[in-house]
A = this chain, B = another copy of it.
Amino acid sequence: MPDTPPEQVPFAIRHYDAQTLTRALRQMFLIRKFEEGAEAAYMRGLIHGTMHLSIGQEASAVGACIGLSAADKITSTHRGHGHCIAKGADVARMFAEFFGKETGYCRGRGGSMHIADVDAGNLGANGIVGGGIPIAVGAGLSAKRLGTGAVTVCFFGDGANNEGAFHEGLNIASVWKLPVVFVCENNKYGMSTSTEKSTAVASIADRAAAYGMPGLSVDGNDFSAVAEAVEDAAARGRTGEGPSLIEAMTYRQRGHSRSDRNRYRTKEEIEAWTARDPLPRMAGMLIDHGVLTEAQVAEIEAEVDAEIAAALDFAQTSPDPDPAAVTRDVYTVV
């Protein structure tokens, strides 16, 4: 709608060019279809271990990373596929990692829970809830000391906000005024435990006040809202004003992991949130504002399907690690 009054035009439409917005939509499709592909392979027993899917949370991953350069860092979580793709990873090498192949990002040593892409600035997913928070603060310290101008986006979940690492990390980042953006993806549950049962405050963003930093709660399924909040916080960080806390309200449409029987939430709740799926919202926004046509969106989706198929093929045909190499890379220098 060309004649929408400016103040009603979403931030993302005002702020990003068509190419960037198209990349964002493409990444969201890529995350969705990557995880659907991984889930299918996992169900067919082709992938071992466990896996945490972020289907339904694509807008917060892509919205938080869209404004970052490769020099900027992120720390990710056990639910980190989306973060990894949003920061620019190659899904072929991600699949290869899930299949435990030598061509994977971690040469098959890490798997889903440790997926990383250091060259692109992703310091890695983490198997420890809250484990990435102090690490992100350390990356912020490096940026400040070395004057790189980089910011670090630290992803974590609502459950992680009750870990001591959250408290210590946010306090240190604030007293040292480090360029870190703390992004809490609040999907209402830590495994089976609701935020009402786990967290003594209504909005996690309100905890920012305890660390003397701004706190903002946004619709995590709205790409534009997340992007706007993170762009502002990143700018704050880059100009030396210190860290910020952003709470992205979202929902995981899948169970916590394979073993989840969804005993702790209702079908209705899942359906209500599935109706607020971030992907059609993003596509709809781009179409409404004339960035893309329906046909172009369909084209992007088709491209992504092809990329996923090729990536799966790459992964499955890649070589396994040498079984004798169990103790390689324990040390840099032995």
Tell me the bound Cα distance from A167 to B201 in angstroms: 12
Q: Which of A164, A200, A212: most chain B Cβ within 10 A?
A: A200
**Does residue A209 face the partner (Cβ distance < 8 Å to B)?**
yes
Q: A175 and B200: CB pair below 8 A?
A: yes
Interface residues of A in 146-203 (CB under 8 A from B): 162-168, 170-171, 174-175, 197-202
**Does residue A210 face the partner (Cβ distance < 8 Å to B)?**
yes
Tell me the bound Cα distance from A164 to B168 in angstroms: 6
Interface size class of A (residues with CB under 8 A): 20 to 34
Tell me the bound Cα distance from A211 to B211 in angstroms: 13
Please, which residues of chain B bring their CB within 8 A of the CB of A211?
A: 200-201
Q: B200 and A206: CB pair below 8 A?
A: no
Please, which residues of chain B bring their CB within 8 A of the CB of A171?
A: 162, 199-200
Tell me the bound Cα distance from A198 to B175 in angstroms: 7
Interface residues of A in 200-219 (CB under 8 A from B): 200-202, 206-207, 209-213
Tell me the bound Cα distance from A308 to B137 in angstroms: 50
Please, which residues of chain B bring their CB within 8 A of the CB of A164?
A: 163-165, 167-168
* A201 in contact with B209 given A163-B168, A168-B162, A171-B162 (CB within 8 Å): yes
Q: What's the nearest-Cβ distance from chain B to residue A52, in Å?
A: 23
Q: What's the nearest-Cβ distance from chain B to residue A233, in Å?
A: 16
Shortest Cβ distance from A195 into B: residue: B175
Shortest Cβ distance from A198 into B: residue: B175
Q: Which of A162, A164, A167, A207: most chain B Cβ within 10 A?
A: A167
Q: B200 and A170: CB pair below 8 A?
A: yes
Please, which residues of chain B bring their CB within 8 A of the CB of A199?
A: 171, 175
Q: What's the nearest-Cβ distance from chain B to residue A195, in Å?
A: 10
Q: Which of A175, A206, A212, A213: most chain B Cβ within 10 A?
A: A175
Query: Which of B162, B168, B198, B212 is close to A201, meaning CB atoms less than 8 Å apart?
Result: B212
Chain A to chain B contacts (Cβ below 8 Å), 11 pairs: A162-B167, A162-B168, A163-B164, A200-B210, A200-B211, A200-B213, A201-B210, A206-B209, A206-B210, A207-B210, A209-B209
